[in-house]
Structure 1
Amino acid sequence: MSTRPPLPADLAALVADPADRSLSVPLPPGRAVHSQEEDSDRPALWLSDGPAPEGLWTRLRAEHARSGLWPLLLDALDDDAEDYRPWASGEFAPGEMSSPAAHDPAALLADWWTRHADPATTPHGTRWPGSAPAPAAVGDPDRIADGLAEHLLAEHPSMRLGLVAADRGADALTTVGWFGPAEHTDDTAEISAVLRSWEDRFGARVVGVGFSTLLLSVAAPPTTPDAALAVAAEHFAFCPDNVWQGVSPLTAYAEHLVGDHSWSFWWD
């Protein structure tokens, strides 16, 4: 019989099978947050009341298989506001999202590319170049994710800790009903479907999430200009604003991806 401590009540309310879950990591003060747009007995996430303690994300990530809770470092639209939007204010809607398993990530990327590609921006014109191949070798995704979490908190110490009931980090955004990419797609499950593919191919992990921003760790980034350009095409399809309002054209954007173990996205 297991002697591991069960989930606290406010965490147990997040998961469908609390009797099968446990958590041995003590948490700072926090609370379960419900969506303000839905009437549901199940909260969307657990949120710390204050900044995430150093090292806690790593310990919770290591406990994920037993707890069923994926940790997120959460930024707000205004860090000083009491409602810490969208997280403390409950501005999300999990019930409006479909399932990531219902979507083909390659088809999603091809469709988004066709909608947004501009010959002036990309060397491929409007023709979808195809998905980037998986690297021959992938490093340690957990080690890379832990390192990025530590770096992120050092750069942004006000970020709070969130816990979401999800089998994998890619699904956490859909589970919580995040609206961050609403200007690109109103179904965050489509975003999660692509993230699942990046988890499998590149050892990506979801680490930080803001009002409309996303930060991933990447265990196997592209190591050559050609490989980087293939990944850059996926990034453009996934989040055109990265190029339109960031580094343009796509060839210049790709240069920044070579050897980079973190990918960031921002939807305007």
Structure 2
Amino acid sequence: MTKTPNPLSVLAADPQGRSLGLALPPGTVIDGPGRRFARRSPLVWVSDEPVGPGALAVHRGPAGAAGLQAVLFQGRRGLESWWTRGELRPREMSAPDDHHVEPVLRAYWAGVVPDPEEGAEGAELIAPFGREWPGLAEPGVPDGDPEEQAVARADELIREGVLPSPRLALIPAARGADAPTAMGWRGPLNHENDTARVSTVLRSWEDRYGARVLALGFDELHLSVAAPPATRAAALPVAAEHFAFCPDNVWQGSGSVHAYADEAVVGARTWGFWWD
């Protein structure tokens, strides 16, 4: 079987990617833990300087046609260029095709729900659900093109200061949900050390809610949502999935699944996750 060439390899000799139909700003190709491109397995291309609103709108379509997923990388104080610090470990990941969303989320739920000994306080945290996994939430109906909404939401996150100095990043992957696994991102390490399982959930949200990966930080993930739940009743099962996927959003955020549904899911056009 002929192996499909990694399109990032082209950028070593063609930095602006013109042969791929791109017109990139100056950037660097990273091939492994913290190293610049030196072998034949580049993981990600990252712009050398921050980009502003409109960057994804310009580059996302051409990048997709070249077999690359365009997203934003955001650093934070002390971790301004986390993608160069040996944090990318694709060889430690399985493949998203190895997993199914229902058992992945069921296992996450079982690992984060309170013990019965916690009594009323623990029950209140996950109400109206119990310790048994409640099942997948019903899909939504996008009210517009998910890709168009994705670039609009990305611009909003930049303007609102959620992403104050993002870099443009290109990752070789067939779909956005697979990009974190393809590059070996380890943001949820304290909750999940196999990012392929994270991508499995992201694939399902792509399909059910028109979600798209917008940005990655050291331990943060931002998605656009084209079909957000419009009511509390529809949002609660989605909030349960979020709690299973990223419990810190509730434990160190809203304080309960019910409050989280009201604050972060009903009508929300972006979903943000962070793992402590």
**TM-score, normalised via structure 2 length:** 0.85
Q: 1:30 aligns with which of 27, 34, 46?
A: 27
1:225 corresponding residue in structure 2:
232
- Per-residue deviation at 1:53? 4.2
| Runs (4+) off by over 3 Å | 37-40
Q: 1:122 aligns with which of 104, 114, 126?
A: 126
2:44 corresponding residue in structure 1:
45
1:45-124 equivalences under 5 Å are 45-78=44-77, 84-118=80-114, 119-123=123-127, 124=129
Residues 232/127 of structure 1: CA separation in 2 closer, same or farther (3 Å cut): same
Residues 205/136 of structure 1: CA separation in 2 closer, same or farther (3 Å cut): closer
- Per-residue deviation at 1:152? 1.9
- Per-residue deviation at 1:87? 1.2
- Per-residue deviation at 1:146? 0.8
Find the aligned partners of 1:216 and 1:176 in 2 and give their Cα distance. Answer: 17
Q: Is the 8 A contact 1:198 1:204 kept in 2?
A: yes
- Per-residue deviation at 1:10? 2.1
Residues 159/65 of structure 1: CA separation in 2 closer, same or farther (3 Å cut): closer
- Per-residue deviation at 1:36? 1.9
Q: 1:146 aligns with which of 147, 151, 156?
A: 151
1:155-166 equivalences under 5 Å are 155=161, 156-166=163-173
Residues 49/64 of structure 1: CA separation in 2 closer, same or farther (3 Å cut): closer
Residues 137/51 of structure 1: CA separation in 2 closer, same or farther (3 Å cut): closer
**TM-score, normalised via structure 1 length:** 0.87
Q: Is the 8 A contact 1:139 1:203 kept in 2?
A: no
Listed as ranges, the gaps of 5+ residues in structure 1 are: 1-5
2:249 corresponding residue in structure 1:
242
Find the aligned partners of 1:136 and 1:73 in 2 and give their Cα distance. Answer: 26
Q: Deviations over 1:134-185 (max 9, x none)?
A: 1245532012101111112222341111110011110000001001000011
2:176 corresponding residue in structure 1:
169
- Per-residue deviation at 1:224? 0.9
The more displaced of 61-70 and 183-192 is 61-70
Q: 2:266 aligns with which of 219, 238, 258?
A: 258
Q: Which amino acid aligns with 2:96?
A: P
Give the secondary structure class of the aligned counterpart of 1:125.
coil
1:132 aligns with 2:137: yes
Find the aligned partners of 1:137 and 1:41 in 2 and give their Cα distance. Answer: 39
- Per-residue deviation at 1:58? 1.3
2:203 corresponding residue in structure 1:
196
Find the aligned partners of 2:12 and 2:92 in 1 and give their Cα distance. Answer: 22
Find the aligned partners of 1:30 and 1:140 in 2 and give their Cα distance. Answer: 29
- Per-residue deviation at 1:197? 0.3
2:11 corresponding residue in structure 1:
10
Q: Which amino acid aligns with 2:10?
A: A
Q: Is the 8 A contact 1:7 1:67 kept in 2?
A: no
Give the secondary structure class of the aligned counterpart of 1:74.
strand
Q: Which amino acid aligns with 1:30?
A: G
Find the aligned partners of 1:22 and 1:203 in 2 and give their Cα distance. Answer: 31
Give the secondary structure class of the aligned counterpart of 1:121.
helix
Aligned length: 254
Q: Is the 8 A contact 1:232 1:254 kept in 2?
A: yes
Structure with a larger share of its residues in helix: 2
- Per-residue deviation at 1:191? 0.3
Coordinate RMSD, CA, aligned = 2.4
